[in-house]
Chains A and B, each alone.
Chain A
Amino acid sequence: MRVADREFIIQVEGLRKSFDTRCVLDGIDLGVPRGSLFTVLGPSGAGKSVFLKCLANILHPDAGRISFDGRLLTAADSALRTEFRKRCSFLFQSNALFDSLTALENVALPLEQTTNLGLREIRERSMEALRQLEMDDFHERYPGQLSGGMQKRLALARAIVTQPELVLFDEPTAGLDPIRRNAVFTMIAKYQRQFHFTALVVTHDVPEALVASDRVALLNQGKICFEGTPAEFSASVQPVVCGFRDSAEALSNSIDAIRQTNFTM
């Protein structure tokens, strides 16, 4: 068996996943370089979230191999899976915050349940995570009392409190307006550099991803059609890349035009 490249924190080979007769992932090969902000782009329904959930072991792939830090994860024992969970965090599209817990309790939850730290240290570390994301003033509020952007920051605070090496972001900008989309990507890029974790983001927001990412890949019809730097993506003449880039640009322009029309009415 080939040992996976240690340059990549996570590496995928021949990943396949189907639901009934519908093939969603059709042999994905991808490596995410350590310490990078890597974005997987793709139209809605391309299988981006399924891909991310396969990596996080929420869904079980039908075939293929996933290696984490050079060790094969798919056929791994429970000890390696536990280690993977400790070193990896997942930020859900819906944030998945516990609505019956306060912001501080939400952030403290992974530390309380997976470490042997004392209550005082857990509180200090959780407050520190909230402070770094400028959320410490809201530590007694419940998620329902926070705005969408603050909920996103709270979810990120919970994801980074365990100091993971890899954070998976599932459509972090879904349903947000262009200004907020930009703010969320800026936030991810800022904290990715500040905390030195590897960020793997799946999204269909092309302009924001191209500005913030170190590398991008395009997932279309269950396959990776492109992988490279944002500059290479912008310059690519591959029909699939051009088609996706142009349609995303056209959509963005139409939305801006509609907004401007509404504002001037």
Chain B
Amino acid sequence: MLHLIGTQSLQIISGFGDFAVFTGRSLSSVAHSRRLGHRVIRAVYEQGTVCLPVILIVGIFTGLVLGLQGYHVLSRFGSQGLLGALVSLSLVREMAPVLAALMLVGQAGSALAAELGMQRSTEQIVALETMGVSSHGYLVSPRLIASLLTFPAQTALFVVVGLWGGALSGSLLLGVDSGVYWSSVEHAVEFRDLRECFMKALIFGLLSMSICAWQGFHADRSRTATGARGVSAATTRAVVYSSIIVLIADYIITSFFV
């Protein structure tokens, strides 16, 4: 039992170390990578455009539900006028960065892990290294840079769409005055809320995309699952680990800001 706990602990610690080295190498490769701009644009397109419909759908329904739930809670205290504040603060501080990150992990992150896993199993990554091309710089760095752009942008979009969702359910369906709703939003959201929101988006983006890339990049490491099963297992691990890390990071960042 003690041996098992020790082995598992060592594995976790070496996993953290390996992840840190992988991310550090990928970020430092930016300086040596050639024609990076083209690949960053492509990665922004892949992460941004592909995830846009999901962000819009989840954003609007999150706003609708927040408006609905918030109205019924606030109406108990006769404070329906604060609906805009409730929806906007919930979205900006917590729901938009976390839900947008989880959606992006589910779509862009899983796609990244699967693509890198396939490239590993078909020797494309080794081929790059034999050509003298940095596989980190060519394959991973553009995705990490792109995540620093797409995650905040998608989070901002989530906030905007969510606020309209709240306005839709609050004003159009439940009769809260539209002017009161938007005025409440304007007065409730401060600069520090927006700063917290975008800081979370940046950190979630970098962490989750690094984890997905790391899992896909080393999809061949498992001795029990190789080939297609190895890629599938790496993709599953990438999504699970990223989602957990997003929630843990959310708690840590929030505890600094509250």
- A-B contacts, 10 listed (Cβ < 8 Å): A85-B131, A89-B130, A90-B127, A94-B123, A98-B119, A110-B133, A112-B34, A113-B138, A114-B133, A162-B131
Q: 1/0 per position for A33-50, CB-CB distance to B under 8 A? A: 000000000000000000
Q: 1/0 per position for B7-46, CB-CB distance to A under 8 A? A: 0000000000000000000000000001100000000000
* Cβ–Cβ contact A92 & B127, under 8 A: yes
Interface status of A255 (Cβ within 8 A of chain B)? no
Please give, as numbers and ranges, the residues of chain B lying within 8 Å of A162 by CB-CB distance: 131
Interface status of B126 (Cβ within 8 A of chain A)? yes
Please judge, given known A-B contacts A112-B35, A113-B34, A113-B138, whether A98 and B124 are in contact too, CB under 8 Å: yes
How many chain B residues sit at the interface, stated as a range, is: 10 to 19
Please give, as numbers and ranges, the residues of chain A lying within 8 Å of B123 by CB-CB distance: 92, 94, 96
Please give, as numbers and ranges, the residues of chain B lying within 8 Å of A57 by CB-CB distance: 130
Shortest Cβ gap from B228 to chain A (Å): 14
Look across to chain A and name the residue whose beta carbon is closest to the beta carbon of B129.
Answer: A58
Which of B34, B119, B130 has the most chain A CB atoms closer than 10 A to its own CB? Answer: B130
Q: Tell me the B111-132 residues at the A interface (CB within 8 Å).
A: 119, 122-124, 126-127, 129-132
Q: Tell me the A68-119 residues at the B interface (CB within 8 Å).
A: 82, 85-86, 88-90, 92, 94, 96-99, 109-110, 112-114
Interface status of A135 (Cβ within 8 A of chain B)? no
Which of B122, B123, B126, B131 has the most chain A CB atoms closer than 10 A to its own CB? Answer: B131
Please give, as numbers and ranges, the residues of chain B lying within 8 Å of A94 by CB-CB distance: 122-123
Shortest Cβ gap from B227 to chain A (Å): 12
Please give, as numbers and ranges, the residues of chain A lying within 8 Å of B119 by CB-CB distance: 98
Q: Tell me the B88-125 residues at the A interface (CB within 8 Å).
A: 119, 122-124
Please judge, given known A-B contacts A96-B122, A96-B123, A98-B124, whether A90 and B130 are in contact too, CB under 8 Å: yes
Q: When the two chains form the complex, which single residue of B34, B130, B138 contacts A56, counting CB atoms closer than 8 Å?
A: B130
A113 to B122, CA, bound (A): 20
Shortest Cβ gap from B84 to chain A (Å): 45
Q: 1/0 per position for B220-252, CB-CB distance to A under 8 A? A: 000000000000000000000000000000000
Shortest Cβ gap from A163 to chain B (Å): 13
Shortest Cβ gap from A85 to chain B (Å): 4
